[in-house]
Chain A
């Protein structure tokens, strides 16, 4: 800092010339971008770390268990003393059951909420409802899991007497509620991005708000809406705590929604909470299951980005 009372006050021009000649400053300007680039590289290293870890340990797993029996096997009995079986299909079926229920619950409610918020709600209503939806999105999944186990399951049992304590229905519904805010807010973003001129054009032709929403806004925002559904599906596939608390731990290859199931994520948790020895097939199996899970979510995320790229309408 230059003291303004000093008699020999440097002019701005001199200050700039001085600053420009400072050698240390020049070095800093050269080094900083490199350091920042290295920091940015951490996220890339993370991805490489995830992929490398999963592949490396999965390969070790397939030295002990055959790949074909893993992909096509319909029995998942890793803890069997006589003859452990590692067929992934029951875990995939469990995951798909949860995902199916969640999507059936979340898509209609989430889309309806998005349409209401974007097309009907007054500014005041929106100002109240959006933060509450954000709270719903911020509730930790362990809390949802507890809610599924101690509230939703008993309530469902009064409606469906056959329902077991651990089942696919209850965690599926709760996972659905967990992903509603995601579908609602992403779809609402997509619908709000549709220019008002298009709505006004339709309204001027005599369309009702419902017709505007269905025939103008929805088609125009379709890519964003589809992407939100795909991303939410990916979240449902990867959801862990709700299904491990309320879904049970019975890997089954059937279409029953009322009995205990096991998802890929819940299996990883089950092995992690038990004490599977390091180096046993059970230990490596969580990486093989994790890799399968990773591929599923990667595929969904890839699909979502393709949808937004391909169908994006520019206004």
Chain B
């Protein structure tokens, strides 16, 4: 049967206008109802964030005093302070930032500029994306076995720093890869055309224009490392410390460890101390994220 041939006597309209217009109102209402539902679901997520911030600020602000920053941990909530944890977290960052950025940017340069498409490099890429999915507590087990025990670093800043560096390495690699990829090929070609070698092109042309993106990604990754608790617990980082570390081989404590310890205590006052600690941690994170956004907006080149 040929489709084009009209059958005689059948004057069936393919679109029945009355039935369409009958259903139109219902369809429009469905659309509006679901639009509202979708919007409200989005609001729920934002609302939770609002409640969380409100709760922590209202509980913790009262305990945020100058003493809170100058005191060490204590059995008494009113005397408890965050000094050791704050300084410890800074020490931790001093190890994590250079180690993870060196490894992350190096890997990204290799994968984007040198790696040919072969099995070994495919394996490295696949491995990085798998590593990003490993739970942080498992990284803690790695750190405990390799850094704390096998390399005998103990529960030092260095052992924790290495563990955290490996934990955020995939994030930094991916961020640096994207930043390097965003540098257009013709800029490289121009550099080669001037007689520059590959490494000269990378260090003097590609990296300078990729560095804002790399820094932004790295700072965001570092802010994840500051808030991570589980690997530190597994490594055996202590909570109650009454001295400040003087070198990378010293034991230390960190902000999330201190908060964890306060949060676990049954006394109601310690809940407020924990909130105060969380405010300090969140302020720290907010500061880092602002810096990251600032770098992104100010220095990012667009081609």
A146 and B229 contacting across the interface, CB-CB below 8 Å: no
Closest CB in chain A relative to B7 CB, distance in Å: 25
B55 — which chain A residues lie within 8 A by C-beta? 147, 150-151
Q: How far is the CA of A141 from the CA of B102 in the complex (A)?
A: 27
Residues from chain B with Cβ under 8 Å of A33 in the complex? 110, 114
Cβ of A37 and Cβ of B110 under 8 Å apart?
yes
Which chain B residue lies CB-closest to A245? Answer: B263
Nearest CB of B to A107, in Å: 11
B140 and A272 within 8 A (CB): yes
User: Does B256 lie at the interface of the complex (its beta carbon under 8 Å from any beta carbon of A)?
Assistant: yes
| Interface status of A198 (Cβ within 8 A of chain B) | no
Contact code string A165-209 (vs B, CB < 8 Å = 1, else 0):
000000000000100110010000000000000000000001011
A287 within 8 Å of B (CB atoms) = yes
Task: Kindly state whether residue A139 has any CB partner on chain B within 8 Å.
Answer: yes
How far does the alpha carbon of A25 sit from the alpha carbon of B49 in the complex, in Å? 54
Please provide the chain A residues from 43 to 95 with a CB less than 8 Å away from any CB of chain B in the complex. Answer: 43-44, 46-47, 49-50, 53-54, 57
Instruction: Give, as a whole number of angstroms, the nearest-CB distance from B165 to chain A.
Output: 9
Q: In the complex the two chains form, is A268's CB within 8 Å of B106's CB?
A: no
CA distance A210 to B38 in the complex (A): 10
Stretch with Cβ within 8 A of B (4 or more), from A96-104, A236-244, A250-258: A236-244
Complexed CA–CA distance, A13 and B105 (Å): 33
> Do B137 and A149 touch (CB < 8 A)?
no
Contact A120-B127, Cβ < 8 Å, known A43-B170, A138-B285, A184-B45: no
Q: Which of A37, A211, A293 contacts B114 (CB 8 A)?
A: A37
Cβ B135 vs Cβ A208 within 8 A: no
Contact indicator per residue, chain B 184-217, by CB within 8 Å of chain A (1) or not (0): 0000000000111111000000000000000000
Give the residues in chain A near B28, CB-CB below 8 Å: 208
Contact with A along B244-270 (1 / 0, CB 8 A): 000000000000100110011000000
B227 at interface, CB cutoff 8 A: yes
Contact A297 B135 (CB under 8 A): yes
Asked whether, in the complex, the Cβ of A293 is within 8 Å of the Cβ of B135, the reply is: yes
A135 vs B50: C-alpha distance in the bound complex, in angstroms?
Answer: 11
Contact of B299 with A by CB under 8 A: no
Rounded to whole Å, the gap between the CB of A276 and the closest CB of chain B is 11
Contacting A40 at CB < 8 Å: which of B31, B111, B289?
B111
The answer to the question of A156 belonging to the interface, with a C-beta cut-off of 8 Å to chain B, is no
Q: What distance in Å separates the Cβ of B202 from its nearest Cβ neighbour in chain A?
A: 8
Shortest CB distance B98–A (Å):
13
**Majority SS of interface residues in chain A?**
helix
Assuming the contacts A241-B260, A300-B133, asked whether A265 and B230 have C-beta atoms less than 8 A apart, the reply is yes
Report yes or no: B45 in contact with A120, Cβ–Cβ below 8 A. Answer: no
Tell me whether B34 and A301 are in contact (CB under 8 A): no
Asked if A117 meets B42 with Cβ closer than 8 Å, knowing A29-B199, A46-B142, the reply is yes
**Distance A273 CA – B261 CA, assembled complex (angstroms):** 10
The interface residues of chain B lying within 8 Å CB-to-CB of A39 are 102-103, 106-107, 110
Is A307's CB within 8 Å of the partner chain B? no
Q: Is the CB of A108 within 8 A of B41?
A: yes
With a cutoff of 8 Å between Cβ atoms, the chain A residues found around residue B285 in the complex are 138, 140
* Chain B CB within 10 Å, residue with most, of A20, A139, A140: A140
Q: Does A138 contact B169, Cβ atoms closer than 8 Å?
A: no
In the bound assembly, the distance between CA atoms of A208 and B24 in angstroms comes to 9
Please tell me if the beta carbons of B110 and A40 are within 8 angstroms of each other in the complex: yes
Asked whether B156 is an interface residue with its Cβ less than 8 Å from the other chain, the reply is no
Select B39's contact among A16, A57, A120, A231, beta carbons within 8 Å. Answer: A120
Additional A-B contact list (6), CB under 8 Å, known A37-B110, A268-B234: A32-B199, A133-B45, A140-B281, A142-B278, A144-B52, A211-B27
Interface residues, chain A, CB within 8 Å of chain B?
12, 15-16, 19-20, 25, 28-29, 32-33, 35-37, 39-44, 46-47, 49-50, 53-54, 57, 108-110, 112-113, 115-117, 120, 129, 132-133, 135-136, 138-147, 149-151, 177, 180-181, 184, 206, 208-211, 231, 234, 237-241, 245, 265, 268-269, 272-273, 286-287, 290, 293-294, 297-298, 300-301, 305
Give me the 3 closest cross-chain CB pairs, A-B, nearest first.
Answer: A140-B227, A238-B135, A112-B41
8 contacts between A and B (CB under 8 A): A16-B194, A29-B198, A116-B42, A210-B31, A210-B35, A245-B264, A294-B135, A297-B134
